[in-house]
Amino acid sequence: MVSPQFRWDWSGWHKSMTNIAETIERRWLAELKLGFEFDGRRTILSERKHIGPLIIQKPFYPEGEVCHVYLIHPPGGIVGGDELNLTVSLNDNAHALITTPAATKFYRGNGYEAKQSQKIDVYAGCKIEWLPQETIFFSGCEAKTKTIISLEGDAQFIGWEIVCLGRPASKEIFEQGYCRQMIEIWRDKEPVVIERSFLQGGEELLDASWGMQNFTVMGTMLVTSTDNTVLETVRNNIEEQNLDNKEIKLSSTLINDVLICRVLANQSEDARESFIEIWKALRLQVMQRPAVAPRIWFT
């Protein structure tokens, strides 16, 4: 006979296992692998493999040689336990622009972390533009995002990431949960930019004058292979944007040859539009091509 103090609570164990099984069953595990190369006429999508709900539409060519690609996540949002992984490689002087048709949304985690990662390898002579729309972190989310850019030789990168905390328009503030964000740029296996952020719902950082100052949107834009001439172009553009009538703060600096722009705002549209204006101003200087906006931005 088993002593009562050593009796297993099989009902509790069974309930716990059932909850774990249900979570595993309903989570999305998605992977997408893309390869680009220049075929002598234009950049083509030479490789495309996917598992789960992470796909792209057909390549678009609004500016001839450059390949525009739109990432699509059919479920429309990411919940606790979901994991999305994107791998991209560019070879043979390829030039690709990757964007999204809508905002990425991280919903409540319910005790399970949601993960999203992007690994982009850009070989010598190639150019990549990573220009997704904003990522919205709902209150209560438990999220981790990671973007790693590996450059070789003279490879070039322009990219941004915009974070929205909560849904202020719906009176939902970021009171609970967290989001971890990692952005890295490497060149020839040496670190160029390493950034980490951890935003906890309801913490002092969100309100403090040394933190987000009650703004709900923040963004970082990174551009490699730049110099003081490009920095001057960007600063002139910021002045021309006439931000006095908007609740937004925008700045730029140069660290070695990497241009870094920061934005704080209360509307994701203001942050995104400011970065787009900067992109339009510097693209010709940095990538020798005038800016041609993806058509999906206007739909």
Q: What does 256-299 look like in DSSP terms, one character per residue?
A: TTEEEEEEEES-HHHHHHHHHHHHHHHHHHHHSS-----GGGG-
At residue 11 the predicted structure's pLDDT band, cuts being 50, 70 and 90, is very low
Identify whether 24 is part of a domain.
Answer: no
- Read off the pLDDT of residues 82-123 as tens digits, 9 standing for 90 and up: 999 999 999 999 999 999 999 999 999 888 999 999 999 999
> What is the per-residue pLDDT for 26?
55
Please name the residue ranges forming H helices in the chain: 10-26, 228-240, 268-287
> For residue 271, what pLDDT is reported?
96
Range of the domain at 292: 29-298
Q: What is the model's pLDDT at position 233? A: 97
Q: Percent of the chain having pLDDT more than 90?
A: 82
Task: Tell whether 104 is covered by a domain.
Answer: yes
pLDDT of residue 299: 81
Residue 17 falls inside a structural domain: no
Amino acid identity of 160? W
Q: Name the nearest CA neighbour of 247 among 269, 261, 265.
A: 265
Residue type, 71: L
CA 61 from chain centre, in angstroms, equals: 23
> 268 in the Ramachandran plot: left (φ > 0), alpha (ψ -120 to 50) or beta?
alpha
pLDDT at 19 over 70: no
CB 138 within 8 A of CB 167: yes
Q: pLDDT at position 6, please?
A: 37
Lowest mean pLDDT across 153-162, 167-176, 184-193, 282-291? 167-176
Mean pLDDT of 247-253: 94
Question: Does 229 fall in a domain?
Answer: yes
pLDDT averaged over every residue in the chain: 90
- Does the structure show a pLDDT above 70 at 256? yes
For the chain, percent helix, then strand, then coil, each to nearest 5? 20, 45, 35
Is 8 a domain residue? no
pLDDT tens-place string over residues 113-169: 999 999 999 999 999 999 999 999 999 999 999 999 999 999 999 999 999 999 877
Lowest mean pLDDT among 66-75, 146-155, 238-247: 238-247
In a domain, 1, yes or no: no
In the numeric block, the tokens 């234009």 are attached to 42
Distance, in Å, from the CA atom of 193 to the CA atom of 187, rounded to the nearest integer, reads 10
Q: Is the pLDDT of residue 50 over 90?
A: yes
- Rounded Cα distance between 143 and 42, Å, is 37
In this prediction, residue 3 has a pLDDT band, given cuts at 50, 70 and 90, of: very low
Q: Which amino acid is at 111?
A: G
Q: Which residue has 């525009």 as its token pair?
A: 68
The C-alpha angle 133, 124, 219, rounded to 5 degrees, equals 25
Residue 68's pLDDT is what?
98
Using only C-alpha atoms, the chain has a radius of gyration, in whole angstroms, of 21
Query: How many domains does the chain divide into?
Result: 1
Q: Residue 278 domain-assigned?
A: yes
Dihedral Cα 162, 164, 165, 170, nearest 10 deg: 180
Contacts of residue 261, defined as CB under 8 A and 6 or more positions apart, other chains included, come to 160, 220, 221, 222, 223, 234, 250, 251, 252, 275, 278
In a domain, 15, yes or no: no
pTM (global) more than 0.85: yes
